[in-house]
Structure 1
């Protein structure tokens, strides 16, 4: 099975952009140790310091969904979402 990529874009509240950037750097460091995660890239939009994009590579969509379910169950997702100006936008992609 080919790996799946998840591309997710977050927009932090302006007053918390710096703290959110630190959080995103922590995610970049820790996420590769999650079951099924093959790697993570972090991007910041050059024209808006509040916008961050993660490009995650996973063994499968089910591995990613299990990871998200764990983050929701632990409350980690709610803590992250509280720092956002709007809901994140994400999709699954396959390399062509």
Structure 2
């Protein structure tokens, strides 16, 4: 079955933060599927001199995804993640064609 809410996020880490950021993404891969409403996540990294990390998240609903984002912001985890980036994150909600 196709997930109800799919989110694609592209993150570009600051080169000076690459090792720390990579560890954080390993944590996301392990912990995000434990969040209520998350059906799975794929954490991918581009090859090449400037790595970009791509998350493809499968959620049961937009409401559950938004609740997760709200919790990340309230806890300060989102700010911590953004501090490791060289540019703002880009995200899209995807739908089946």
Name 2:21's counterpart in structure 1.
20
Aligned equivalents of 2:33, 2:96: Cα separation in 1: 19
Residue 50 of structure 1 and its aligned partner are, at CA, apart by: 3.0
1:82 equivalenced with 2:53 (yes/no): no
CA contact (8 A) 1:17 1:49 kept: no
Q: TM-score, normalised by structure 1?
A: 0.93
Q: Deviations over 1:42-78 (max 9, x none)?
A: 1100124531000000001111111000100010101
TM superposition score normalised by structure 2: 0.92
> Where has structure 1 moved over 3 Å in runs of 4 or more?
none
What is the rounded CA distance, in whole Å, between the counterparts of 1:76 and 1:64 in structure 2? 15
Number of equivalenced pairs: 96
> 44-53 or 22-31: which moved more?
44-53
Q: Which segments of 5 or more consecutive residues in structure 1 lack a partner in the other structure? A: none
Residue 57, structure 1, aligned to residue 50, structure 2: no
How far, CA to CA, are the matches of 1:38 and 1:48 in structure 2?
Answer: 32
